[in-house]
Amino acid sequence: MTNDASARAEMSFAKRYNLFFWFRHAALLLWAIMIMFPIFWMISTSFKDSGDWVAWPPNWFPSFVGGGYEPTLHNYRQIFSIVGHGEGLSREYAEQAFTIWGAVRDSMVVSSISALIALLLGTFLAYSISRFNVGGKYFRYMILTIRMV
């Protein structure tokens, strides 16, 4: 009798585990779709003409996959040549042409300087925490946890 009860308990555990396995994978798949959809949307929109950006119902896929828009590289050509033709800008800004490479250079300078400052400050802070018993036993882990958040 005990063998029968243990077999039933083991079987119900296996069924519960199998149900949990499928539920977990379905939830992870749903989460991955929710995370990846905005990236897919941006990439899809980047190959559309400006009239197709706000089309209703939206066309997610290009025509060669069965969708409703003809893909184009016009947006990429426009970005990498000249940005800011003056549409919607005041006259003073409309006369200036900004290249994407100037913006990339500025972004690289700002990110390099901020990374260098963070590295220098982090190095000095890590040295002082490792050498001296500062803040108690769990202070290092607390700082690491706060840094990750």
The boundaries of the domain holding residue 129 are 98-149
In a domain, 30, yes or no: no
Report in angstroms the alpha-carbon separations of 124 from 23, 50, 116.
47, 50, 12
Burial class of residue 143, CB neighbours in 10 A (0-12, 13-18, 19+):
middle
In a domain, 145, yes or no: yes
| DSSP-derived 3-state class of residue 149 | coil
Each residue's pLDDT expressed in tens, for the chain with a length of 149 residues: 456 656 565 666 667 677 788 889 999 999 999 999 999 889 888 888 877 777 788 777 777 766 777 778 877 777 766 555 545 555 554 444 556 677 788 999 999 999 999 999 888 887 877 777 777 777 777 877 887 76
Q: Measuring CA to CA, which residue among 80, 81, 97 is closest to residue 89? A: 97
Domain count, the chain: 1
Instruction: Please name the residues in contact with 142: beta carbons below 8 A apart, sequence gap of 6 or more.
Output: 135
Cα separation of the two ends of the chain: 54
In a domain, 44, yes or no: no
Query: With a threshold of 0.85, does the pTM exceed it?
Result: no
In a domain, 138, yes or no: yes
In a domain, 16, yes or no: no
In a domain, 9, yes or no: no
In a domain, 61, yes or no: no
50: tokens are 């400006």
In a domain, 116, yes or no: yes
